[in-house]
Amino acid sequence: MPTQADASAHKKRTFRKFSYRGVDLEQLLDVSSEQFMDMVNCRARRKFKRGLKRKPMGLIKKLRIAKQNAPENEKPEMVKTHLRDMIIVPEMVGSVVGVYNGKTFNQVEVRPEMIGHMLAEFSITYKPVRHGRPGIGATHSSRFIPLK
């Protein structure tokens, strides 16, 4: 079952070759959907198994067009989407996607290491909390301090 292509044992894929579960990028692009399902983790596999009517058809088409129109050695133009639940497929690598987080479209450049994750993971939906000074009433002890 685990026979991925030859296991390229390079784990550091930043400057060395990238491999997803032992398969290189070029080979990943040729892989069929069923084989990709085997490689990916179970959440992604479930999504493919269930929704193969492919709601994201529109997104993938637009990504392809944007990639074709892009001048060489430049990033393709941003394709906006609300589809945060879209799993990143090898085909999408290299595109720039604007992922909606409720308010704005966060620009995400899809890199090969992101394969198998969902678009939503890269577009944070909340502003990280920076606590201010706790006010009166925040703890039990400070509740009955008179106002003046």
Which residues of the shown chain bind another protein in the complex (CB under 8 A)?
1-2, 4, 7-11, 13-14, 19-23, 39, 111, 113-114, 116-117, 120-122, 124, 128, 133-136, 138-139, 141-142, 145, 148
User: Which strand (E) or helix (H) includes residue 28?
Assistant: helix 25-30
Question: Cβ 19 to another protein, closest distance in Å?
Answer: 6
Query: Which residue, 68 or 141, has its beta carbon nearer to another protein?
Result: 141
Question: Cβ 45 to another protein, closest distance in Å?
Answer: 12
Question: Cβ 97 to another protein, closest distance in Å?
Answer: 14
Residue 40: is it exposed, middle or buried by C-beta count within 10 angstroms (0-12/13-18/19+)?
buried
